[in-house]
Amino acid sequence: MRTLTLYPSSPRARGAIARVVLAVSALALVPITVSGCRKRSTTTTPGGVIATPQAHAAYITNNGSDSLSVIDRDGTAVTTIAVDVDPDEKEAPHHLAVDPISKSAFVALAFPAPPKPKKDPHAAHGNAESHGQLIRLNLANLAVTDMRELDHNPGEILLTHDRSKIIVTHFDMKRAMNVAAAGGTTGGMFASLQVWDAKDLTMKASRPLCVAPHGAVTSKDDTIAVVACYGSDELAVVDLTSPTLQTARYPLGTAQGVPGAPSYGPYSAILSDDGTRVVVATLEASDVRVFDMAQKKFLADKTVFLHARAFFPEWVSDHAVVVPLQAPDGLARIDIETATVEKRASFTSDVCKAPHVAKRAKDGRLYVVCEGDHVLPGTILEVDPTTLEVRNRWVVGVYPDGIAFGD
């Protein structure tokens, strides 16, 4: 079955959302939220046999085929295991975090709305009508062992460095559009940031954060979370030591769009090893921007325009990042200090269609997740972090969008 996701990336899509924002009187009766509280048919799954040793494994979420794949990074084996907790719905596993010590994986299930024919291949992400779910899986067989209810449209999921907490954002564009159509306030459009205990899966804290928060990262001491706020063109800096998750928000620039119809569209954020710089990749502005944590501001002279939608980048040295690009598809290696593109590579669709995320393993090897066309299986590449040449390639499930490692 096909899963589509929504990023209002084209001018036409942005215009449509802006018209929703302005059409208050015509749509005043649109509800602010949809509860979607139907009980899931199960909270566990049986998993399967995985021959790949954990230390050699990379784990991939297949958003479009309701499964996780395990690739052998030192071989050719690919094992795919279903995470079908509700046969009547699309689970759409979206990103994951792995704890090699407890031998657990944590995945957000999005349960998107049924797909409709659209030109945008991402037409349901952020548009679900059911609550999401947080699941824990046993790394040995990828069986689902626990499940908890999230808010609508979970976005990023990450494990803190001390492995004690799980951070979940909610890319709830549907909420933003519904609130705008009902004449609500910008604050009413805010979706939540949630903090969960990784051991017993109890929620420790939650707060409305910003409009459609997505990519997130924590500082090495786990006292701060930095979140890209796609729908409000902001970067949120969250105090994780505060019971109320005290937050400051910083605009990406002076040309912010209407809440829910962004001009920049910050989609992901990564923090430098020394904690001084945040690199933010944007979909709508098609660039990467650098935020200085000490000065608490974006550095205008560090912006690099890429003329392609920038997804989840990864640090490959103290000053360089590799950025997956879509429309056109490829990669860019960028020196953040000099704000220059050091190397750029293009992909044909038979090698990597729609690069989504770059991720470096502990051994320094760099991997790129390629969404594919959301109908046929996608791919994982191992890429040289300097030359951007493809070293290896694996075929996985439909619409892969997240990767984590077992070492």
Question: What's CA 13's distance to the chain center, in Å?
Answer: 20
Percent of the chain with pLDDT strictly greater than 70 = 86
Please report, in angstroms and rounded to a whole number, the separation of the first and last CA atoms in the chain: 32
- Distance CA(112)–CA(130), nearest Å, equals 7
* E strand or H helix at 178: helix 173-181
Question: What's CA 379's distance to the chain center, in Å?
Answer: 17
Percent of the chain with pLDDT strictly greater than 90 = 82
Length of the chain: 407
| Residue 38 reports pLDDT greater than 50 | no
- Distance CA(116)–CA(112), nearest Å, equals 11
Q: Please name the residue that has the structure tokens 């990519």.
A: 215
| Residue 346 reports pLDDT greater than 50 | yes
How high is the pLDDT of residue 32?
Answer: 33
What is the rounded average pLDDT of the residues 59-68? Answer: 97
| Residue 71 reports pLDDT greater than 70 | yes
What is the residue-averaged pLDDT of the chain? 89
Backbone angles phi, psi at 231, to 5 degrees: -75, -10
How high is the pLDDT of residue 261?
Answer: 92
Whole-model pTM: value is 0.87
| Lookup: tokens for 116 | 């409709």
What is the rounded average pLDDT of the residues 107-128? Answer: 65
Choose among 125, 99, 98: nearest CA to 111. Answer: 125
How high is the pLDDT of residue 86?
Answer: 87
At 373, is the secondary structure helix, strand, or coil?
Answer: coil
Strands 57-62 and 400-405: antiparallel
How high is the pLDDT of residue 3?
Answer: 35
Q: Is residue 93 within 8 Å of residue 66, measured between CB atoms? A: yes
CATH code that applies to domain 11-24+49-405? 2.130.10.10
87 or 373: whose pLDDT is higher? 373
Strands 234-239 and 224-229: antiparallel
Q: What is the pLDDT of residues 160-201, one digit of tens each?
A: 999 999 999 999 999 999 998 999 999 999 999 999 999 999
| Residue 393 reports pLDDT greater than 90 | yes
- Distance CA(366)–CA(359), nearest Å, equals 6
Helix 11-22 / helix 173-181 crossing angle, nearest 10 deg: 40
